[in-house]
Amino acid sequence: MIGTALTLTGDLEAESAIPWIVHRGLLLNLDGWVRRRGAGEIEIALAGPEPLVAAMEAACSLGPADILVEHITRQAHDFDHAPGRFRHLS
Amino acid sequence: MSTEYARNDWYVVADVNQLAAGQVVETRLLGQPLRVSGSPDAPLVTTADGTALPAQLRYDHIWTSPGADPRPLPDIAEAAERDRTFVPCGGVRVRCSPLRAVENFLDIAHFPFVHTGILGEEPHTEVAPYKVEIREDVDEVWATQIGFHQPQAAKSATEAIETRYEYRVPAPTTAVLYKTCPPKPEAWDVIAIFVQPLAENECIAWPWMALYDEVTPYADLVQFQQEIFLQDRSILENQKPTLLPLDPRLEIPTRCDLTSVVYRRWLKRKGATYGALTTAA
């Protein structure tokens, strides 16, 4: 199954970042997951209707007040199996 | 609330017509009372204790800054093109965050619904994808490649046209719109909004235009722009929360809102939070 991967880079260390992204993913009724890939990088994999994926991208490019997203990149993501409801992948 | 960043920007506190008429303007800036007097060529801006602030005439308005080390006043190159018609439109007082006023100016999606029959109309409501970026070399927000169907893009327009737009935000409370000039399609009309923050939740929007339009009477140009801003005022004064959220939990931005998203990101990065809500909304 082909979905969308978003990679956020910037000042992302605040603990609020992941819960905020999960809250937004669930609000938009998306499937997929989010995980940290280091202090300054967060990876998000998404499946869902394109307008909602685009809304997730727009939301994540701002994020919560205590993080600063400097760059966001988007590419295709190949899910090995059905991704399930959006969650934090620790 | 933080005035630390805001104090070192320049703000409009009166327009040239007020001083030319000999008015003494009692106003406020960032919550502090100010008096604006003098002549357009020698404006005088003083605080409540009589301290003189720097003052200058630019773009047909009187500008001041209360900071010790103000950043440069944004340059609008078209102001030097003497064949344009320059139109200071007067101030529109709005009970909203100054940042909300700028954000509203940047929002094209509301045109068909708020400025129906002028800047937009149904069923032409779709906002095609466009490009938004923070230009690091000049530290400005730019939105480009915007196209929109408009029934009357300007006072000089005689029919509906596909209008091209570019937005530029050179300072948190200054935004400039470059749009198709109906009688001269190879040129841009320039419409700017200079927002005077009276307080975090109250401002005066000073629209200013630099147009290629030698036909339309001055009063009609002012009335056209004032009508648009008055239509916006009722929307702006009913937005919740009043301050501009930098952590908008309950809002769901879409692609057409990208200019707003990037504007907020830019404010957050600069620490330009006067008029912003920095907790979850």
B170 torsion bin: left (phi>0), alpha (psi -120 to 50), beta (else): alpha
Q: Which site among B99, B133, B249 would you substitute to test the A interface, given the most A Cβ atoms closer than 10 Å to its Cβ?
A: B249
Residue B221's pLDDT is what?
83
pLDDT at B231 (0 to 100) = 82
The candidate with the shortest Cα–Cα distance to B34, out of B24, B26, B42, B22, is: B26
Handedness of CA B130, B131, B132, B137 (dihedral sign): negative
Which chain A residues touch B258 with a CB distance below 8 Å?
58, 61
Which pair of tokens denotes residue B74?
Answer: 């944004």
A62, A70, A72, best to mutate vs chain B, most B CBs in 10 Å: A62
Task: Please give the backbone phi and psi of residue B176, each rounded to the nearest 5 degrees, phi first.
Answer: -130, 130
The pLDDT of residue B168 is: 97
A65–B254 CB contact, under 8 Å: no
Q: Using DSSP, state whether B236 is helix, strand or coil.
A: helix
Q: Is A10 on the interface with B (CB under 8 A)?
A: no
Q: What is the pLDDT of residues A10-29, one digit of tens each?
A: 999 999 999 999 999 999 99
- Name the pTM for this structure: 0.88
pLDDT at B80: 95
Going residue by residue through chain B, which has 281 residues, state the pLDDT in tens, using 9 for 90 and above.
578 899 999 999 999 999 999 999 999 999 999 999 999 999 999 999 999 999 999 999 999 999 999 999 999 999 999 999 999 999 999 999 999 999 999 987 776 666 666 666 676 667 677 899 999 999 999 999 988 777 766 666 667 777 888 999 999 999 999 988 877 878 899 999 999 999 999 999 999 999 988 888 888 888 888 888 888 888 889 888 899 998 877 677 777 788 999 999 999 999 999 999 987 66
Question: What is chain A's alpha carbon radius of gyration, rounded to the nearest angstrom?
Answer: 12
* Residue B155 touches partner A, C-beta closer than 8 Å: no
Joined together, the tokens standing for residue B121 give 């109309």
Q: What is the pLDDT of residue B175?
A: 97
> Going from the N-terminus, what domains does chain A have, and what CATH number goes with each?
2-88 (3.30.70.100)
Domains B1-72 and B81-277 share a fold: no
pLDDT for the residue B112: 65
A58/B255 touch (CB, cutoff 8 Å), yes or no: yes
* Residue B190 confidence (pLDDT): 94
Q: Pull the structure tokens for residue A65.
A: 């007040």
Element housing A14 (H / E): none
Residues 233-252 in B contacting A (C-alpha not used; CB under 8 Å) = 246-249, 252
ipTM score: 0.79
Asked if CATH classification 3.40.50.300 holds for the domain at B81-277, the reply, yes or no, is: no
| Confidence at residue B162, expressed as pLDDT on a 0 to 100 scale | 77
8 Å CB contact between B119 and B135? no
Q: By C-alpha distance, which of A53, A49, A50, A46 is closest to A84?
A: A46
| Averaged confidence pLDDT in chain A | 93
Residues present in chain B in total: 281
Contacts 24+ apart (CB under 8 A), B27-34: B27/B196, B27/B198, B27/B204, B28/B198, B28/B199, B29/B64, B29/B66, B29/B196, B29/B197, B29/B198, B30/B3, B30/B6, B30/B66, B30/B197, B30/B199, B30/B274, B31/B3, B31/B198, B31/B199, B31/B200, B32/B66, B34/B64
Cβ of residue B51 closer than 8 Å to a chain A Cβ: no
Q: What pLDDT is stored for residue B182 in this prediction?
A: 77
| CB-CB contact of A33 with A22 (8 Å) | no
Give the start-to-end residue ranges of the domains of chain B.
1-72, 81-277
pLDDT mean over A71-90: 92
Averaged over A58-64, what is the pLDDT?
Answer: 90
* Topology adopted by domain B1-72: N-terminal domain of TfIIb (2.20.25)
d(CA B104, CA B126): 17
Question: And the tokens for B170?
Answer: 């050179």
